[in-house]
Amino acid sequence: MIFVENLLKELKKNKIDYFSGVPDSVLKNFTNHLEKNKKFKNLTLTNEGSAVAAGIGYYLATQKVPGVYMQNSGLGNSINPLISIAHNKVYQIPMLLIIGWRGAPNLKDEPQHLAKGKITKQILKLCGIKFCILNSKNDLLKLKKLVNYSRKNKRIVACLIKNNILQTIKKFKKIEPKLRNKDITRAFFIENFLKCINEKTKIISSTGYLSRELYSKIRKLKLKISPFYMVGGMGHTSIVSLGYALESKKQIVCLDGDGSFLMHMGSAVSIAKYSRKNFKYILLNNKSHESVGGQSTNIDKMKLKLFAESVGYKKYFYLYEKNKSLKTIKAFLKCDGPSFLEVNIKMNKSENELPRPKDLLKVKKNFLKK
């Protein structure tokens, strides 16, 4: 066990006071403290590649070692700037990666995390990134040596941290984002959405609480609907949906969250250009990375109506009132796509008890049924 307060103290002592990254459940205590600690600069960004790129920019301006945090599932997004810009064979940009290690050996986890967890160390080795594993306070000496190595040799280094290692002395209360809606929960919307579709409608849902809520509701209501749950691949839900829509005459509904939407927002341009009238996109927007700690997604100032219309969506709908839910959903599903529905939802504290989709090969088999 390592107290986050001690980790931050050690980082500050070693002159690491800048971080950029993407929130992760393993690192939630770390990132929540980082946001509150005025001794550190923290940028919560939309994807891991951007976090690495921001760190590179920080180094070019200050010549100081930047810190970048992510879940190991985000390594794929980060590899391009890590290898093609920061690597010792290119510009030799020193950098400290703090990586939440989901699916670590001998720990229970979901299939998508076990697959990535098994190869995480190999990926770092192939990239030539020296790393250590932080398990206890005694390992903070390893961190010190690693940072010194990075600074002296202009190298990328990494710390792997397993689930439940980072604990906190002081807990911070989640800050609810400011929403126009105070009533619509994820559960309420999904239940109403399921009332409006038929068994022929195909659904592809994003990773996190969204898929878990959908899975839970379908089981409780005993519906004969078989969505494809994106248990991993955050940010790619909309493009998977597009790929399906182009080869099928069935109505396809993509259920996405704001964190996922922002991660690969450029996909919206491709969707609007290539998709057909059978493509429907629903964005459940609570302005937070709720399933990994509730950090802000920084979507607050974005005008989604203007965005959707400017990239080429034919119609935009906005839902924030409970009593208009069924009417709005029905109108959205009835119109020709590509169409965009934004739903303001509030954070729901009971979500931790939601079940996760099981037997993923069966999920795929059921989705493929005509």
CA angle 36, 40, 42 (to 5 degrees): 75
Question: H-type helices in 14-47, by residue range?
Answer: 28-36
The enclosing H or E element of 61 equals helix 48-62
> Is residue 232 very low, low, confident or very high in pLDDT (cuts 50, 70, 90)?
confident
Angle of CA points 70, 210, 21, to nearest 5°: 15
User: Which residue has 């704001």 as its token pair?
Assistant: 258
Q: How far is CA 315 from CA 272, 278, 279, 308, 330, in A?
A: 11, 13, 12, 8, 14
Query: For a pLDDT cut of 90, what percent of the chain falls above it?
Result: 64
DSSP class per residue in 250-287: S-EEEEEEHHHHHHTTTHHHHHHHH--TTEEEEEEE-S
Please, which pLDDT band fits residue 357 given cuts at 50, 70 and 90?
A: confident
pLDDT at 208: 84
- pLDDT recorded at residue 256: 93
Can you list the domains of the chain with their CATH numbers? 2-167 (3.40.50.970), 186-368 (3.40.50.970)
CB atoms within 10 A of CB 317: 19
Higher pLDDT, 274 or 300: 274
Looking at residue 80, its pLDDT comes to: 95
**pLDDT value at residue 175:** 56
Q: For residue range 251-263, what is the model confidence (pLDDT) as tens digits? A: 999 999 888 888 8
Dist. CA 203–CA 284, nearest whole Å = 14
- Residue 173's pLDDT is 62
Residues 184, 325 contacting (CB under 8 angstroms)? yes
Beta strands in the chain (DSSP E): 2-3, 18-21, 41-44, 67-71, 95-101, 130-134, 156-162, 166-167, 202-205, 228-229, 252-257, 279-285, 288-289, 295-296, 315-319, 339-344
pLDDT of residue 176: 57
Q: How far apart are CA 277 and CA 231, in angstroms?
A: 26
List CB contacts of 157: < 8 A, sequence separation 6 or more. Answer: 94, 95, 96, 97, 129, 130, 131, 146, 147, 149, 150
User: Taking 50 as the threshold, does the pLDDT of residue 351 lie above it?
Assistant: no
Residues 42-53: tens digit of each pLDDT: 999 989 999 999
Mean predicted lDDT score pLDDT of the chain: 89
**pLDDT at position 352 over 60:** no
248 confidence band (pLDDT: 50, 70, 90)? very high
Window from 104-108, 174-178, 217-221, 266-270 with minimum mean pLDDT? 174-178
Average pLDDT over residues 206-210: 88
Q: Kindly tell me if the per-residue pLDDT of 172 is higher than 70.
A: no
Region 216-239 average pLDDT = 91
Look at 74-83, 153-162, 293-302 and tell me which has the smallest mean pLDDT: 293-302
For the beta carbon of residue 306, count every other beta carbon within 10 angstroms.
10
Q: What is the mean pLDDT of residues 234-238?
A: 90
